[in-house]
Structure 1
């Protein structure tokens, strides 16, 4: 119901906007509302829907409605997004995004769309320097710290690259002032952000322990950036979001590096009952290659690798539990927590890689396939055993990214805390089968 209302409002806004522009509007072309004769001033709407059907082996002790469950099947809306943006005047750009994430059987009913992004930008020096501000995804650290969700190659983005996701930001978006631009093949983005209060994040506790957590003290500003050299075809930097795969329509090879720094972001208890504060400081390097193999047949390859040095302070660990199918746990010794959680974020070093191969066009009628695989490997100081998380599957490209069916399997480790050693041991592995259907109006 809410989505229908939102679409009606968007349609009304479109009609009113067209009427208001009057003689200045030049009509609709290439998916955009042209605001001048050559289309350099425009406005555009997009819409994406990603729905999951999933069967999950739950972490030990997971409960649903107070009942312990070992396996569960659910359907959920992983993402629903509406973008509205455009170059509304020379040098003036506006971007907004509304949507919801992770809506399943246990979510609050009638959950409404919320603002993901709202920002304005002014181009100070043509192509070289634009300045903007607002709630925005112009983030540092790595390529997929701000992924374009409609073009993700696999079942999901590497969410750990969104290092403060929903702790001191809103699903990776930050209240920021940023600068971005290009100098030939060099592409850059830098930002200064005001961290949101971690007290508002899910499950936050201000209690001090021997392990670092986000400090409840008033936050200092965060500085972050990402820089890349684009050797082959140039990628657009109109919005903050980076493409997952071009499906062979471009030949891209980039090498990038980024950072994220916030002084006194973390705290923990000292041995003498004192409070030890530490900086949050991360560094990343990555490489991205996406290109056709045979342009005539449509075969293509996509590959990405990243190395990240995470430093949140001694012993920091945070679980990732995407659209968690469980509600709670009766096993406090399981580090993963409930449902499909696993220790994705932590102080230490991480290596990630993904690769996919697109078969020729019209492989199955007018459709084709793109199998893929990815691996997240981490050596975190809180874990006695290194962490491996992998997933693999196949995209059935019914009509490119516009209509796509993805079949995937995800495998995660399960850790049990050992209080005497202050570490967690790997005791098992669990998995999930996921089917996603994506519809993307772009």
Structure 2
């Protein structure tokens, strides 16, 4: 009798599970879980993995665990991300992203995923105006102030366009309220953010010098926005993240302009021992073109250019060292700091450009190639020589952005402090060879 009851219970459980799976299958279409019959309400998950194999010529004086090294090879997880988002009800949208960045040999072990984004949004006027709030990547200034990491043209986005990256935000995400939408061919976003405390930023010092740095005083709100005129195909603005390249599946030509402003964000020491405060105020214009050349064969071009006027206050300069392979330096006179650092952010003017060409489909079996090149060129106040960082390589598109191998070389300038001019002189160049393997479930 007992066995018969167990058999009947098991049969009921299997029947219920089968019914649930059937219902689930009927509600899963186009990579989305449909929440209503026409799919206008949905929920979706994506997953991205980017792994780097890298050989780096290190900056002079670089050390690893106290040992001087001039070259190092490492493997690291540049990005691991999970997105979960959807139109969960009419006019109601929710977006979240979890993941980690820059996990290599020197990282804390068992590093946990952290929340990159969590925000909610309400569509006030259909297509024209949505309002949202949360920890969000809705940013002003430029197109790639919030790049879609799964569709980047090369191995990395132009990170300097994320101007306050991890200083007063969390890897570009800010605690914000925002408005976004479309008015004809005009796509816009306007944002008010509450800056995070710079005291929590790596390497921050509240010590005042003659050069501007982020103020330790309670921060005032930051205002920023970005506006772009989309001449050809219209791009989606469902999420904040902008596509790197469409690989010829769309014909897009946009011209944009943006700004970023925060009163009294910066401070420095005056000549009389007083404290001089200044505003953070940046302005940018950019253009983006991504289109097929021959739709029949699949050839395509992708191009982007930006001009940014950075104003952080007198003499501001900040290094960028992506997934830094070094842990210290024995030469403090090297402005770049340790490892692969270079002065990427600063008060002054910057020009950036990138271009890529996609060869015909099925160039190598079912795969194809897309070579690319980019250049960051800047005139910063504290550098006696202009700064040029360039990056070039080729994407082997095994299956579009879903699976691709990228082979790249990056070249950066090395600067040494000049005690006489209180600036810095370019003394050398260093490089890195990179191989990235990406898998993108979208």
Fold shared per TM-score above 0.5: yes
**Alignment-derived partner of residue 248 in structure 2:** 248
**Alignment-derived partner of residue 48 in structure 2:** 48
Q: In the alignment, is residue 159 of structure 1 matched against residue 159 of structure 2? A: yes
Over 2 Å off, 4+ runs: 21-26
**Alignment-derived partner of residue 361 in structure 2:** 361
On the 8 A contact 1:26/1:33 being kept in 2, the answer is no
Larger radius of gyration between Structure 1 and Structure 2: 2
- Length-normalised TM-score, structure 1: 0.95
Q: In the alignment, is residue 268 of structure 1 matched against residue 268 of structure 2? A: yes
SS of aligned partner of 1:38: coil
Partners in 1 of 2:216 and 2:153 — Cα distance?
37
1:24 Cα offset (Å):
10
On the 8 A contact 1:24/1:35 being kept in 2, the answer is no
SS of aligned partner of 1:80: strand
**Alignment-derived partner of residue 290 in structure 1:** 290
Q: In the alignment, is residue 335 of structure 1 matched against residue 335 of structure 2? A: yes
**Alignment-derived partner of residue 433 in structure 1:** 433
Partners in 2 of 1:103 and 1:262 — Cα distance?
32
Aligned 1:112-151 pairs, distance under 5 A = 112-151=112-151
Partners in 1 of 2:48 and 2:438 — Cα distance?
7
Partners in 2 of 1:131 and 1:349 — Cα distance?
33
Q: In the alignment, is residue 191 of structure 1 matched against residue 191 of structure 2? A: yes
1:141-181 CA distances to partner (integer Å, 9 max, x unpaired)? 00000000000001100000000000000000000000000
Aligned alpha-carbon RMSD (Å): 1.5
1:419 Cα offset (Å):
1.9
* Residues 275/22 of structure 1: CA separation in 2 closer, same or farther (3 Å cut): farther
SS of aligned partner of 1:112: coil
Partners in 2 of 1:22 and 1:283 — Cα distance?
53
SS of aligned partner of 2:150: helix
On the 8 A contact 1:25/1:35 being kept in 2, the answer is no
1:409-439 CA distances to partner (integer Å, 9 max, x unpaired)? 0000000001221100000000000000000
**Alignment-derived partner of residue 422 in structure 1:** 422
**Alignment-derived partner of residue 11 in structure 2:** none
On the 8 A contact 1:26/1:35 being kept in 2, the answer is no
Partners in 2 of 1:75 and 1:274 — Cα distance?
47
Partners in 1 of 2:38 and 2:370 — Cα distance?
37
1:243 Cα offset (Å):
0.0
On the 8 A contact 1:255/1:286 being kept in 2, the answer is yes
**Alignment-derived partner of residue 12 in structure 2:** none
On the 8 A contact 1:265/1:279 being kept in 2, the answer is yes
1:262-303 CA distances to partner (integer Å, 9 max, x unpaired)? 000000000000000000000000000000000000000000
- Length-normalised TM-score, structure 2: 0.95
Partners in 2 of 1:91 and 1:279 — Cα distance?
37
**Unaligned residue ranges in structure 2 (runs of 5+):** 1-16
**Unaligned residue ranges in structure 1 (runs of 5+):** 1-15
**Alignment-derived partner of residue 89 in structure 1:** 89
**Alignment-derived partner of residue 29 in structure 1:** 29
Count of paired positions: 426
